[in-house]
Structure 1
Amino acid sequence: MAARKAVAQVADKVKRKTFLSTVIPAGKATPAPPLGPELGQMQIQIAAFCKDFNEKTSHIKTGIPMRAEISVNPNRTYNITLLNPPTSYFLMQAAGCQKGATSSNTQTAGIITLKHVYEIAKIKGRDPAFTCMTLDQVCKTIIGCAHSIGIKVVRGPIEVAELKEFLARRAEEVAAEEKELEELRLSKVLRL
């Protein structure tokens, strides 16, 4: 019987996750799903983690999505490594849009210049994923990400009148999409 318990304890140690990579809003870590259950599986004290994370991100504007890498030691202590926000966050902030295009091939969610790409590349170049890349390669990666979420990259400066016209058109497109999605949700509810 004692041998069975020992084997079960070893199996539990093998099954337990020891690393988690996630995105958490700065200053808003809560025990609610999806973060709480993930931390529970790793046997981390959830309330203590939330307090530590919120303290570590107190100098950052509340709500900015921060990438965090959490590793658990055998004695149940943990290490939090904070990384820069996702590239898509920077791109959408630079373009002034709330969400990307639903179809990046046919829609444009926003417009940015190469200067925006360069500034984002300088920030993202410090991330571990980009350390072995040159600034030119990081810029190309960011341009690829911009195209995948429907953000157009232009060479020269953007005219204010053209940008205002585009933003007004985009707001109408987003409103129409949301109305269409709401109608689709209601039709599914009525079917039930």
Structure 2
Amino acid sequence: MAKTVTAQVKLQCPGGTATPAPPVGPALGAHGVNIGQFVKQFNDKTAGPDTKGLMLPVIITVYSDRSFEFKIKSPPAAVLIKLAAKIPAGKKQGKEVIPATAKKQGKYTNHTLTQAQVAEIAKKKLNDLNARDVDHAARIIAGTARSMGITVTA
């Protein structure tokens, strides 16, 4: 008898430190998945130093017999950009008055990234981006950085 897919659940979990607490527990419990088994497998796969603590998107496919498979995606581009620009997590940005005629800028205007850093992020994100090659992916990442207010230098 073939297994049929009953649900696909998309979550963001911290790498290496996921717990059965919300949002993981309620999302998987509603489909009858063994939450402890998922948390253990996910933490084992993401225990490396490069992913530990980063929020990682994960797509969980739940089958009719309550078994599951999951695919871990790369961290969001904004998270990788903040790491490369050395922006501390939870940093509060000061409120500044912007004239109505000025172009609205992003939140992190005093930070910069080099093209090499952008290319490195693009290589990490290449499989998850809709890009034909690394150069195209780098342009996407640079655009994301500019929208955050980060200056991309040569």
TM-score after normalising by structure 1: 0.64
Q: Deviations over 1:34-90 (max 9, x none)?
A: 221111122211111111111121234421222211111111100011121111111
Deviations 1:97-141 (A, max 9, x none): 0258688616515211111111111111133x33x5222221111
1:17/1:67 Cα in 2 relative to 1: closer, same or farther (>3 Å)? same
Residues in 2 aligned to 1:36 and 1:17: alpha-carbon distance in whole angstroms: 17
Q: 1:63 to 1:106 in 2, by over 3 A?
A: closer
1:45 alignment partner in structure 2: 34
Matched, 1:150 2:149: yes
Q: CA deviation at 1:31?
A: 1.1
Q: Structure 1 residue 76 and structure 2 residue 75: aligned?
A: no
Q: CA RMSD in A?
A: 2.4
> How many percent of aligned residue pairs carry the same amino acid?
32
| Higher gyration radius (CA) | 1
Q: Which residue identity is paired with 1:54?
A: N
Partner of residue 53, structure 2: 63
SS of the equivalent of 1:125 reads: helix
Return the alpha-carbon distance in structure 2 between the equivalents of residues 87 and 135 of structure 1.
14
Name the CA distance, whole Å, in 1 between partners of 2:150 and 2:31. Answer: 38
CA distance in structure 1 between the aligned counterparts of 2:46 and 2:7, rounded to whole angstroms: 22
Name the counterpart of 2:88. 98
TM-score normalised according to structure 2 size: 0.78
Q: Which amino acid aligns with 2:73?
A: L
Distance in 2 separating the partners of 1:33 and 1:53:
15
Match of 2:98 in 1: none
Q: Is the 8 A contact 2:6 2:64 kept in 1?
A: no
Contact 1:19/1:71, CA 8 A, preserved across alignment: yes
Residue 105 (structure 2) pairs with residue 116 (structure 1):
no
Q: 2:75 is matched with which residue: 79, 85, 102?
A: 85
Q: How many residues align?
A: 138
Task: Tell me if the contact between 2:106 and 2:146 (Cα under 8 Å) persists in the aligned partners.
Answer: no
* Partner residue in 2 for 1:169: none
| Higher relative contact order (Cα pairs below 8 Å, separated by 6+ residues) | 2
Contact 2:105/2:148 (<8 A) preserved: no
The answer for unaligned runs of 5 or more in structure 1 is: 1-15, 156-192
